[in-house]
Chains A and B, each alone.
Chain A
Amino acid sequence: MAITGRAVALALLGVLVVLLSPAPGLTMLLVDLVVVGLVAIDLTLAGGVRTLEFTRSGPTSARLDQPVPLVLGIANDGARTVHARVRDAWPPSAGARPRVHRVVVPAGERRFLETTLYPTRRGDREPFRITVRSLGPLGLAGRQGRHHCPWRVRVLPPFTSRRHLPAALARLREIEGEVAIRGAGAGSEFDSLRDYVIGDDVRLIDWRGTARRGAVVVRTFRPERDRRVVCVLDTGRTSAGRVGDVPRLDHALDAALLLTAVALRAGDRVGLIAHDSAPRVTLPGSHDHAFLARMTDAMARLEPAIVEADHAGIVSTVLRETSRRSLVVLFTELVPAVIEEGLLPALGTLTARHTVVVAALRDPRVDELAAGRDDVRSVYAAAAAEQTLMRRRELTETLRRHGVEVVDAPPAGHAAAVADAYLTLKSLGRL
């Protein structure tokens, strides 16, 4: 049960009555008896909470920046009308609004409440509990009870880098030679034969075909298709650090999604591995276009783990999951602890079998610090930032010497830079 402000106001009125009464003790007793009696009557006449039935409907997944409209249905199977306050409680990061609904459900009828979620984080969100307070006709007191009505909304990564997709696909078509521009498509895989036109490279003439056909034909090439791309996400402690207001991991997810979208369009197989001290997610390669949705779904529940990533483990997982030569895009952080102690010792076996790209996120805050000249403290901070940047340069250099491509871009261009690196490698036929 629960009392309302009206009951308190009634008792407060009683204070005045008692103060002015000639027989205050008796009056007080009477006043309180009246209050208790009215509350008891109200409780008795209030509609039952247990006889309510709840149902839910609405979407089960949404991208991070989209509101999720959910409908909560209340059916009243009891004998009395229920004047209820309903709190459909969700975790704070689900951003459920409104917090409390007021609804009147006559006996035997059904009403629908609309709760809209404005999620602030990726991941699965489940409702906690539905609390109902059914007030009596006097509005002095009410019965309170709870219901459970399970649901799950999966909040997917926002994929904000979708806006880079048209540009990347345009570049892909250019590489594939599908657009009417100067020059043939890049690549080394044989595509087709066509008639020779003046200006074609004579080295491309296919003599055997020319002999068969009686006219001069040239070979055309296209970029290799059906290559393999593996996105490897380091979900260790370094991925938890926030750049802007978003963890590094979310930037990496965004970039991985763009890369996957482009690679799937280019006809390549894409796989996903998320790993910190143990493999978190492993999606085998696929060139199915629905793979992007599956990957988004798998990414929704990834969280940075506050452990040191096991790079030897990452490398062995990648080797285990890939049978053919692949492009391994490793989303990690360029700090000495990660690269020198973790990755470099294990890198040899990886680069021997695969093409490796390390995609790191450059923190604009460090650049900002490095430019600080306001006072002595900011100059010290600038020195620390310079040192950090210096270390990054050295590590980049070290990795390049090991034959690893390094993408080091600020958040605004990170996803596009990774997609560009992929397209460049593809056009060079290095996949």
Chain B
Amino acid sequence: MTASGTLAPGGTSADGVSPSAVRSGPRPPAVRRGVLVVAVVGALLLGFLLVTALVTRPAGRPALDPASAESDGTRALAQILRSRGVVVSPADAVPAGSAGQQDTLVVVRPGRLTHDALTGLLGRVWRGSDVVLVAPGDAVLDALDVGVVTADRQPADGGSDPRCAMPEAAAAGSVTIGGSRAFTRADDGDLGDMKLTLCYGDPPGAAQLAVLTPGRAAAGPAAGRLVLLGSADFLTNQELAHSGNAALALGLLARHPTLSWITPAADANGGVGTRSVAELLPAGFRWACLQAGVVLVLLALWRGRRLGPPVPEPLPVIVRAAETVEGRGRLYAAAHARDRAADALRAGTRVRLAERIGLPAFAGPGGAPGPDPVALVASISERAGRSPSEIGSLLYGSGMPPQTTGVPSPIGRARDRYQSRRLPPDVSRPPAQAADGGPGPRRGTGRPGERDAALLALARALDELDRQVGGR
């Protein structure tokens, strides 16, 4: 607490209403609000950083990568398959297969494949290959057009039992296939000459495993098949050892000597399941935006409704009395009107000096402006101790015209010009010399800046004279 604070203890006791010049009371509301805003923004930023740090996974191998030993990788499965003599080759696109080749194709994110690629995969099935699609969405199923859709409802329980007659499933028994996606047969779907087997979950309403086999070669070992997995969780390193997961995986994937583990690149264009940003946002987002619009309207209504209109008031003109003088000064400066300015300065000094030494400031019969030149120069030179010619040239300009008024006439100006031409020393005197107190050249031949400097020198010389005469 400063001394001024103790002098004004009313700063806090007067409810903060009294305008106190002493800064000892509570901080002004503007400062408090500013601190609050900074604190809120800081808190939001910190929260955002925290959430970002928690949500983002460390950069590593993606889920279901056959080379990944993470809990969500599938390296264990790949090892087992390799030990069974299956060649597992990761790929990021569907490899072109030769005509008679029968192999297994696992597509991890089928939504990233294009419509043509999916149709091609269906063709591979007809030619005898196994195609396993992991968690295909509606878009993928539509593109395949095999009469299977994702089920509206979830399976009743974990769905660990096969509940179907498929040999591999029956052999594997219960598995932890899990996942949130289930399949069913479309109501009006055409299976396209394929046989549909629905296993696990709650078939036929919501099955987590759907196997489609081309109709004619039913159950033949050479026949290809299309396997739709509701989830691939049971293939991961973490889950593979549980229940009959490994058995089911081998049954589904180990039928052909080669296996392509296809993870299409994320930036592949034209994928049927690729969704735009708008589709990725939660369903409530658009409505929330609409509600935000409503909030904006309410905000406008709140802030826009004022407590009475502004009060009109006829205001007086506000013009400074000295404005014309200042304006004229600027005009002089703009026009470099040195003659006029020098005349005015000299006339003013003349009258001031005359008043000071007691000469009538307005001599002459008609009250001619300005004191009597002869008497003034004589008197001033005596008091200032300078030569009359110097004083005369300072007070009346070069040539000492018999009568110079505050407002020089055109004739007077012409005469001045004529006389200054006849007086070369005055013209050729450099400004530096003029600044020493000598009479400044009124009309130089140099640049405007130099000649303006001469005017400044003249003004200072007149001031100097004023001081000499006044400082008795």
The interface of chain A, by Cβ under 8 A from chain B, is 2-5, 7-8, 11-12, 14-16, 18-22, 24-25, 27-28, 31-32, 35, 85, 87, 89-93, 100, 121, 128-131, 133, 144, 146, 240-243, 247-248, 303-304, 306, 363, 365-366, 369-370, 373, 375-391, 393-394, 397-398, 401
- B340 CB to nearest A CB, Å: 7
Tell me the bound Cα distance from A19 to B243 in angstroms: 40
Interface centre among B291, B318, B345, B347 (most CB of A within 10 A): B291
Residues of B contacting A303 in the complex (Cβ-Cβ under 8 angstroms): 316
Are A242 and B333 touching (Cβ within 8 A)?
no
- A148 CB to nearest B CB, Å: 12
Interface centre among B313, B322, B326 (most CB of A within 10 A): B322
Are A146 and B308 touching (Cβ within 8 A)?
yes
Are B294 and A32 touching (Cβ within 8 A)?
yes
Residues of A contacting B299 in the complex (Cβ-Cβ under 8 angstroms): 8
Tell me the bound Cα distance from A90 to B313 in angstroms: 9
A11-B298, A381-B325 given as contacts; is B341 within 8 A of A2 (CB)?
A: no
Asked whether any CB of chain A lies closer than 8 Å to the CB of B301, the reply is: yes
Are A87 and B307 touching (Cβ within 8 A)?
yes
Tell me the bound Cα distance from A340 to B351 in angstroms: 21
Tell me the bound Cα distance from A351 to B332 in angstroms: 39
Interface of B (DSSP majority class): helix
A19-B282, A24-B283, A28-B291 given as contacts; is B344 within 8 A of A384 (CB)?
A: yes
- B208 CB to nearest A CB, Å: 24
From A19, A146, A377, A398, contact of B330 by CB (8 A): A377
Residues of B contacting A393 in the complex (Cβ-Cβ under 8 angstroms): 351, 361-362, 369
Residues of B contacting A35 in the complex (Cβ-Cβ under 8 angstroms): 298
Asked whether any CB of chain A lies closer than 8 Å to the CB of B328, the reply is: yes
Starting from the known contacts A18-B284, A393-B362, 12 additional A-B residue pairs (CB-CB under 8 Å) come to A91-B311, A242-B318, A373-B459, A376-B456, A379-B456, A384-B326, A384-B332, A385-B329, A387-B347, A390-B351, A391-B406, A394-B362
Tell me the bound Cα distance from A320 to B348 in angstroms: 41
Can you list 5 A-B contacts with CB-CB less than 8 angstroms, sorted by A residue number?
A18-B288, A304-B317, A387-B348, A393-B351, A393-B362
Identify the closest chain B residue to A132 (Cβ). Answer: B307
Asked whether any CB of chain A lies closer than 8 Å to the CB of B36, the reply is: no
A377-B333, A381-B329, A386-B347 given as contacts; is B459 within 8 A of A87 (CB)?
A: no
Are B460 and A373 touching (Cβ within 8 A)?
yes
A24-B288, A380-B329, A390-B369 given as contacts; is B323 within 8 A of A12 (CB)?
A: no
- B447 CB to nearest A CB, Å: 12
| Contact residues, B63-110 vs A (CB, 8 A) | none
- A228 CB to nearest B CB, Å: 31
From A3, A248, A376, contact of B298 by CB (8 A): A3
Identify the closest chain A residue to B369 (Cβ). Answer: A394
Tell me the bound Cα distance from A87 to B341 in angstroms: 57
Are B319 and A240 touching (Cβ within 8 A)?
yes
Tell me the bound Cα distance from A20 to B285 in angstroms: 9
Identify the closest chain A residue to B304 (Cβ). Answer: A2
Asked whether any CB of chain A lies closer than 8 Å to the CB of B320, the reply is: yes
Asked whether any CB of chain A lies closer than 8 Å to the CB of B342, the reply is: yes
Residues of A contacting B57 in the complex (Cβ-Cβ under 8 angstroms): none
Residues of A contacting B313 in the complex (Cβ-Cβ under 8 angstroms): 91-93
Residues of A contacting B342 in the complex (Cβ-Cβ under 8 angstroms): 383
Are B329 and A247 touching (Cβ within 8 A)?
no
**Interface Cβ pair total, 8 Å cutoff:** 204
Tell me the bound Cα distance from A382 to B308 in angstroms: 50
From B282, B307, B453, contact of A133 by CB (8 A): B307
- B462 CB to nearest A CB, Å: 10
Residues of B contacting A3 in the complex (Cβ-Cβ under 8 angstroms): 298, 301-302, 305
Are B326 and A369 touching (Cβ within 8 A)?
yes
Residues of B contacting A31 in the complex (Cβ-Cβ under 8 angstroms): 291
Interface of A (DSSP majority class): helix
Identify the closest chain A residue to B327 (Cβ). Answer: A384
Are A5 and B302 touching (Cβ within 8 A)?
yes
Tell me the bound Cα distance from A36 to B283 in angstroms: 25
Are A121 and B295 touching (Cβ within 8 A)?
no
Are A247 and B282 touching (Cβ within 8 A)?
no
Are A18 and B287 touching (Cβ within 8 A)?
yes
Tell me the bound Cα distance from A303 to B314 in angstroms: 11
Identify the closest chain B residue to A1 (Cβ). Answer: B305
Residues of B contacting A375 in the complex (Cβ-Cβ under 8 angstroms): 456
From A15, A22, A304, A387, contact of B288 by CB (8 A): A15
Are B344 and A386 touching (Cβ within 8 A)?
yes
- B51 CB to nearest A CB, Å: 16
Asked whether any CB of chain A lies closer than 8 Å to the CB of B132, the reply is: no
Asked whether any CB of chain A lies closer than 8 Å to the CB of B218, the reply is: no
Residues of B contacting A242 in the complex (Cβ-Cβ under 8 angstroms): 318-321
Are A379 and B341 touching (Cβ within 8 A)?
yes
- A191 CB to nearest B CB, Å: 39
Residues of A contacting B337 in the complex (Cβ-Cβ under 8 angstroms): 380
Tell me the bound Cα distance from A24 to B323 in angstroms: 67
Are B308 and A87 touching (Cβ within 8 A)?
yes
- A14 CB to nearest B CB, Å: 5
Are A377 and B329 touching (Cβ within 8 A)?
yes
- B310 CB to nearest A CB, Å: 9
Residues of A contacting B407 in the complex (Cβ-Cβ under 8 angstroms): 387
Residues of A contacting B311 in the complex (Cβ-Cβ under 8 angstroms): 89-92, 128-129
Residues of A contacting B459 in the complex (Cβ-Cβ under 8 angstroms): 373, 379, 382
| Contact residues, B256-276 vs A (CB, 8 A) | none
A240-B316, A384-B332, A397-B367 given as contacts; is B302 within 8 A of A11 (CB)?
A: no
From A21, A91, A365, A386, contact of B348 by CB (8 A): A386
From B288, B319, B330, contact of A381 by CB (8 A): B330
